[in-house]
Amino acid sequence: MNKSLFNPSDVANTSVVKVSKTVLAVAICSLAISACDSPKPVERNATQFDLVTTDDANEDIGTYILPQDTAILKEPNAEQIFYGKRLLNETKRLMPEHVGAQMNCNSCHIAQGKIPLGDPYINSYNFYPRVMPRSGKEVDLVGRINGCFMRSMNGKPVDRDSKEMQAMVAYMKWLAQNTPKNQKVAISNAGEIDTSLTPDPVRGEKIYQVQCATCHGDNGEGIKDSRGDIVFPPLWGDESFNIGAGMARTYKAAAFVKYNMPMAIQTKGLWGHGNVLSDQDAVDVAEFFTHKPRPDFAGKENDWPTGNKPKDARY
């Protein structure tokens, strides 16, 4: 499905219909304030996903209900889980010596790792340890988190036993909601993208200027608030992720961008994000920003030691 960038066609789904009703109600209320000064809050059911077995049968055996953060209070280690949640949201401010980029973990793990196609953490606690093709060996959850510290955050690894690392793992464990090891939540970490498309960075630059620069800056530098904290993270330059990051790869970045960006400026998706760009648009804009100057990655020569290097790898 190739939707044109400048003429996005509407995807009919119920949440879009609900949103437009709300918008309509707000519009009517602003005309006649006295009649509706206390609009009813929109009722939201907790989001649910199927729980399936991890074996080939992929059998549907239950339901995962996305927990509300207030439920953390019921946990015996509530303080640790809340600390982990905070660290993932405010990584740069709370762990500056481990973070080189102007980036928080949740700059890429959208909605605190709670939504499909936005690099969720929902299955991460159960998914590791596993053999990663990039490292060619088994990596556990701590190792995976440190992979993002060294690449996506262009920073330094965090001690396995530190209170910070343990807190981040505790948040991910809580998000897994006691899903047994042989089961997983039926969601995808990333959306599909047509990897046979040839990227056109010149077209990508035009798309960047129209769809991305308002938030990420004319020079990809991002925008900070008055306290100096990141609001819109940088897409390239010294303060962005390094070439060792998954996001530095054209098709991986395109899959992220297609389903998550631009953010919150339209009526699609739970967060008003994604599904504006066609696959070609996403591949073009991703090629453009991933190939702008960014920090090198020191350990790059050790990656993909057993071959199978993806075609969009940067080295």
Using CB under 6 A, list all residues that contact ligand HEC.
Answer: 88, 91, 103, 105-110, 119, 121, 123-124, 127, 144-145, 148-149, 152-153, 168, 189, 211-212, 214-216, 232-235, 241, 245-247, 252-253, 256-257, 261-265, 285, 289
Among left, alpha and beta (phi > 0; psi -120 to 50; other), residue 29 is: alpha
Residues in the chain: 315
- Residue 99 CB, nearest approach to ligand HEC (Å): 7
Q: Do residues 259 and 117 touch, judged by C-beta distance below 8 A?
A: yes
Query: Minimum distance between the CB of residue 41 and ligand HEC, rounded to whole angstroms?
Result: 23
Q: How far apart are the first and last CA of the chain?
A: 31
Q: In angstroms, give the least distance from the CB of 246 to ligand HEC.
A: 4
Find the shortest distance in angstroms from Cβ 38 to ligand HEC: 29
Sign of CA dihedral 253, 259, 264, 265: positive
Instruction: Say how far apart CA 266 and CA 206 lie, in whole Å.
Output: 20
Residue placing its CB nearer to ligand HEC in the complex, 72 or 254: 254
Beta bridge partners of 139: 130
Q: Which is nearer to ligand HEC, 173 or 252 (CB)?
A: 252
Phi and psi for 223 in degrees, rounded to 5? -135, 135
Beta strands in 154-219 (DSSP E): 183-185
- Cα 164-252-68 angle, rounded to 5 deg: 45
Q: Which CB atom, from 53 or from 89, has the smaller least distance to ligand HEC? A: 89
Shortest Å, Cβ 124 to ligand HEC = 3
Residue placing its CB nearer to ligand HEC in the complex, 78 or 215: 215
Rounded Cα–Cα distance for residues 121 and 51 (Å): 15
Whichever of 72 and 142 has its CB closer to ligand HEC, that residue is 142
| 72 or 108: CB nearest ligand HEC | 108
Say whether 9 sits in a helix, a strand or coil. coil
Tell me the closest approach of the beta carbon of residue 31 to ligand HEC, in angstroms.
Answer: 28
